[in-house]
Structure 1
């Protein structure tokens, strides 16, 4: 685990090929299965992520937002079987995001396993009303996400 003042990265080796993990990460309909924060409820649009610039919406729930809410995610990174990331915003149709990003990086190992790194980066958040919320998700919750991801990919 690597933590600094504006980001957290956790890493885990998962007993599955990178292509299988990537297939799961790029399907928003399955994100609830590997959400260690407990915020994700369901995906609004369930199409597979295929490139940078796409958007997908997730139904969420958390006290920090007063209960149920929707987040609109701008795909910010996409490299097939290697990397996928998104920047959330609470506003549908917003061109700009408030500045935090979720990034999954996959490294294939000779054993056939995959090293998965999950980074939560809020270094570009500038809104003084938002800054006190960070980090909203802990390193332990992120490690739980990677554990859940490992379980989800093995069940298919």
Structure 2
């Protein structure tokens, strides 16, 4: 059973990008690249050498506020899908999830979908920030990602 409140807490945006799926996925699966395309003004930097290769891995990211997040990868399919749950170090994830899906349309074009799901978010201090993560901010990330991927 899904309630309407939970449904309003899943935000998604999609667009076509003129680049091969594997090139786009490399930009997403390497946390060190993520601050280059973040349209949510949230990601500052991540150490190199953390390229995600399977579910269960954890990568570290520093936010623009200086806070550190450990991101547990909960979905992974090489070249097509990755999702993670961010959390403060040594804490359980509060229940919001970031997902990226890359679907090849041809050798040189791909459809990319970015989803922010905060339907399970349990930390009331994070609700305002979660509500501020709109389709427009997700689309800004997609547009930034497209610019980087299409440069190659």
Taking structure 1 as the reference length, the TM-score comes to 0.86
3-state SS in 1 of match to 2:59: strand
3-state SS in 2 of match to 1:130: helix
Give the alignment partner of residue 93 of structure 2, picking from 86, 92, 97: 97
Question: Are positions 1:30 and 2:27 aligned together?
Answer: no
Deviation, structure 1 residue 132: 4.2
Question: Are positions 1:54 and 2:52 aligned together?
Answer: no
Give the alignment partner of residue 75 of structure 1, picking from 67, 70, 73: 73
- What is the total number of aligned residue pairs between the two structures? 146
Give the alignment partner of residue 21 of structure 2, picking from 18, 22, 29: 18
CA-based RMSD: 1.6
By percentage of residues, which structure has more strand? 1
Post-superposition CA distance 1:126-147 (Å, at most 9, x none) = 2344334422322111101000
Ranges in structure 1 where 5+ consecutive residues have no aligned partner = 62-66
Taking structure 2 as the reference length, the TM-score comes to 0.88
State the distance in 1 between where 2:50 and 2:13 align: 27
State the distance in 2 between where 1:45 and 1:97 align: 23
State the distance in 2 between where 1:10 and 1:113 align: 17
State the distance in 2 between where 1:36 and 1:139 align: 11
By percentage of residues, which structure has more helix? 2
Larger deviation: 106-115 or 75-84? 106-115
